[in-house]
């Protein structure tokens, strides 16, 4: 099973407007999967403590940073998220010459969360993920069923000054620095000959497998995947559609422009069907370290029928209850072996209400249009308020401890009136 799913984007000056980094991702997952938006504060840990990831337990670090995550409700990791240092990460499924089948290890989504919890810059996140790959490997089913759906991972990582593309094949990897302009990744390898960091054994391994002759210029995508560079760049792929949408807005990429891209159905970026866009994220991160970043999440499927709601890192930020799914603890079927013998109801309160509204929008054209207009107006009003703190900073942190939840309540209010 090789679905075309997920797209991650970043725009840096001069492609973005103002001195801001704009990050965005659509998470395309099984259509019945619930994605939750959760916040975890920074924490300190003892020297012997462990962290229980989706399938395996690993050593915990002394300190983890505060994170906000959009994640499939059944697993530990995340599809995308940000941390208090304004590092943003999204991952993509990729397949290549190296088999993705293997023992349970860290999921790519676990690596997203671990990178955010442990790194205060994009480059450090590359190093964190690379070290974890080397020590623990990647593997395990990436769906909440017995389908053995597995893949390798690529990552797009940004901070206040730059972005990195990190692509993996088993424990081997290559990374490319992006210092200006825009970049997008989809479900294919995209690093070619510009490699700024790499696994020390990556080239030797490729040569031992007969994938590279050791003499010609090393091209990561060509060597480790089945695609030539020409095919990667060929017209018609979702990667090229995303690149084209960025190019059309080049020099004027804003949060609104990124949301429009994520809502684009003609390109396939806003995916429908058995695999669909189950959650979306857009982040606005000023290059000025004195200013806060604003991170928008839907917490619901299909961004065209959802509201991007803002989250800002402030001290004492509250739990995001309306977008947190039920916890089943050690009785969760994911934790019991054999795994996935049943599938509990993981719908969070916002998901339940949104599911009804989405059905109304689908079934009743005029009524649905009115609902969508009201949701867009709600979104615009929130974004207008966020422009103020993006310009001058957070003056009263306590005013923002419930920011995301208050926006969810306003969204639920629109649903109730409907």
Are 333 and 339 spatial neighbours (Cβ–Cβ below 8 Å)?
A: yes
Question: Which residues are tagged catalytic?
Answer: 6
Are 153 and 93 spatial neighbours (Cβ–Cβ below 8 Å)?
A: yes
Phi-psi region of 272 (alpha: psi -120 to 50; beta: other; left: phi over 0): beta
Give the 3-state DSSP-derived string for the chain, with helices as H, strands as E and coil as C.
Answer: CCCCCCEEEEECCCCECCCEEEEEEEEEEECCCCEEEEEECCEECCCCCEEECCCCEEECCCEECCEEEEEECCCCCCCEEEECCCCEEEEEEECCCCCCCCCCCECHHHHHHHHHHHCCCHHHHHHHHHHHHHHHCECCCCCCCCCCCCCEEEEEEECCCCEEEEEEECCEEEEEEECCCEEEECCCCCCCCCCCEECCCHHHHHHHCCCCCCCCCCCHHHHHCCCCHHHHCCCCCHHHHHHHHHHHCCCCECHHHHHHHHCCCCCCCCCCCCEEEEEEEEEEEECCCCCCCEEEECCCCCHHHCCCEEECCCCCCCCCHHHCCCCCHHHCCCCCCCCCCCCCCCCCHHHHHHHHHHHHHHHCHHHHHHHHHHHHHHHHHHHHHHHHHHHHCCCCHHHHCCHHHHHHHHHHHHHHHC
């Amino acid at each position: 099973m090789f679905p075309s799913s997920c797209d991650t984007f970043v725009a840096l000056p001069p492609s973005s407007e103002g001195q801001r980094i704009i990050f965005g991702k659509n998470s395309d997952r099984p259509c019945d999967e619930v994605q939750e938006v959760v916040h975890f504060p920074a924490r300190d840990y003892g020297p012997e403590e462990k962290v229980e990831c989706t399938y395996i337990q690993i050593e915990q670090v002394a300190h983890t940073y505060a994170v906000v995550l959009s994640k499939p409700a059944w697993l530990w990791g995340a599809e995308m998220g940000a941390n208090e240092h304004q590092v943003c990460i999204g991952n993509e499924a990729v397949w290549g010459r190296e088999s993705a089948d293997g023992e349970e290890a860290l999921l790519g989504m676990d690596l997203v969360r671990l990178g955010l919890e442990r790194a205060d810059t994009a480059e450090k996140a590359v190093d964190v993920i690379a070290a974890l790959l080397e020590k623990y490997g990647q593997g395990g089913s990436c769906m909440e069923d017995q389908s053995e759906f597995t893949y390798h991972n690529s990552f797009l990582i940004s901070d206040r000054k730059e972005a990195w593309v990190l692509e993996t094949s088993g424990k081997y990897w290559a990374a490319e620095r992006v210092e200006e302009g825009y970049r997008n990744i989809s479900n294919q390898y995209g690093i070619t000959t510009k490699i700024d960091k790499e696994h020390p054994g990556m080239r030797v391994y490729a040569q031992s497998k007969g994938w590279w002759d050791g003499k010609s210029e090393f091209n990561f995508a060509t060597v480790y995947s089945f695609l030539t560079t020409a095919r990667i760049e060929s017209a018609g792929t979702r990667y090229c559609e995303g690149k084209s949408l960025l190019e059309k807005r080049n020099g004027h990429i804003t949060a609104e422009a990124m949301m429009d891209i994520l809502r684009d159905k003609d390109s396939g970026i806003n995916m429908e069907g058995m695999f669909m866009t189950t959650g979306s994220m857009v982040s606005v991160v000023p290059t000025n370290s004195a200013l806060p970043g604003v991170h928008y999440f839907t917490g619901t499927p299909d961004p065209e029928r959802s509201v991007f709601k803002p989250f800002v890192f402030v001290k004492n930020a509250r739990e995001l209850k309306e977008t947190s799914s039920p916890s089943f603890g050690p009785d969760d079927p994911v934790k019991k072996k054999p795994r996935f013998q049943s599938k509990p109801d993981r719908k969070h309160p916002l998901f339940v209400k949104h599911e009804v509204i989405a059905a109304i929008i689908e079934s009743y054209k005029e009524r649905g249009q009115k609902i969508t207009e009201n949701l867009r107006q709600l979104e615009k009003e929130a974004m207008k308020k966020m422009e103020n703190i993006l310009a001058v900073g957070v003056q009263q942190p306590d005013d923002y401890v419930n920011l995301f939840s208050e926006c969810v309540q306003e969204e639920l209010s629109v649903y109730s009136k409907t």
